[in-house]
């Protein structure tokens, strides 16, 4: 089954080259994919013209100012709305946004994700297809700190608050995919669309919704949230959180995925190099 890309665009005038870098990568690995593009307000007026130059399978939408979250969240939200209205289903759903579209200090991180995540589409999708219980694939994680007061909050369905229900009978995994770039398999997306109504699509989301809330959809639905790197930016071993989630929810079928990390480095996301040289 084909894949699709949900591509959240926020590009200020003068940084249109960032869009071209991502589109160049899509030409290499997503030539056959449908690409749903949400463009946030205050972005460069040149984006649509640039997108059309590439002749990819693109569907472009503009975020209403009233729903603008001042982050990728509003663009992802609009992409999901367009996806639902299309009636199409895909094998995998790639969430990618224009990292560094408004600043230069994320240039290194943008290039790292293009090289280490986007360009590895075939490898990552093979992993997902050969491990059907895996509901998502992310690169870098961060632990959920029970002592911290977060800005994130749920909209319509309980992902963050961890309320157990018939539809979402498992607890969340207590770690995030940071940087809001990851891939979900088809079953969690089907679950999401079965639970939300127009209310979700017409509510202004918290700016961190797709980093701190939405990925919990996977673990709350009982699918395994695969993480490629073992340690968080704080040096915390995330194996503990994954193992605890499996035990808490009696999901022993995922034990074989424990300690199945591909990398084991620590990193600093606040100033370059964001990821240590041993990547």
* pLDDT tens, the chain, 279 aa long: 899 999 999 999 999 999 999 999 999 999 999 999 999 999 999 999 999 999 999 999 999 999 999 999 999 999 999 999 999 999 999 999 999 999 888 898 899 999 999 999 999 999 999 999 999 999 999 999 888 888 889 999 999 999 999 999 999 999 999 899 999 999 999 999 999 999 999 999 999 999 999 999 999 999 999 999 999 988 899 999 999 999 999 999 999 999 899 998 877 655 554 554 333
**Strand 92-97 and strand 57-62: pairing?**
unpaired
- Give the number of other CB atoms < 10 A from CB of residue 49: 10
Longest Cα–Cα distance in the chain? 51
């Amino acid at each position: 089954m084909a894949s699709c890309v949900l591509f959240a665009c926020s590009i200020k005038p003068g940084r249109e080259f960032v869009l071209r870098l991502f589109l160049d990568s899509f030409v290499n690995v997503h030539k056959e994919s449908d690409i749903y593009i949400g463009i946030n307000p205050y972005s460069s007026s040149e984006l649509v013209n640039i997108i059309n130059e590439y002749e990819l399978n693109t569907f472009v939408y503009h975020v209403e100012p009233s729903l603008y979250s001042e982050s990728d969240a509003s663009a992802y939200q609009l992409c999901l709305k367009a996806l639902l209205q299309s009636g199409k289903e895909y094998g995998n759903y790639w969430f990618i946004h224009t990292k560094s579209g408004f600043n230069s200090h994320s240039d290194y991180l943008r290039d790292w994700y293009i090289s280490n995540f986007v360009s590895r589409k075939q490898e990552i999708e093979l992993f997902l297809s050969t491990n059907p219980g895996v509901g998502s694939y992310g690169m870098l994680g961060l632990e959920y700190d029970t002592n911290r007061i977060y800005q994130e909050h749920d909209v319509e369905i309980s992902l963050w608050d961890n309320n157990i229900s018939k539809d979402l009978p498992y607890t969340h995994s207590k770690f995030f995919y940071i940087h809001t770039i990851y891939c979900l398999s088809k079953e969690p997306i089907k679950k999401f669309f079965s639970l939300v109504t127009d209310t979700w699509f017409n509510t202004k989301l918290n700016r961190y919704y797709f980093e701190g809330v939405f990925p919990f959809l996977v673990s709350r639905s009982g699918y395994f949230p695969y993480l490629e790197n073992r340690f968080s930016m704080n040096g915390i071993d995330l194996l503990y959180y994954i193992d605890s989630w499996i035990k808490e929810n009696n999901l022993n079928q995922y034990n074989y995925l424990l300690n199945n990390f591909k990398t084991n480095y620590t990193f600093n996301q606040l100033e370059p190099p964001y990821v240590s040289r041993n990547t």
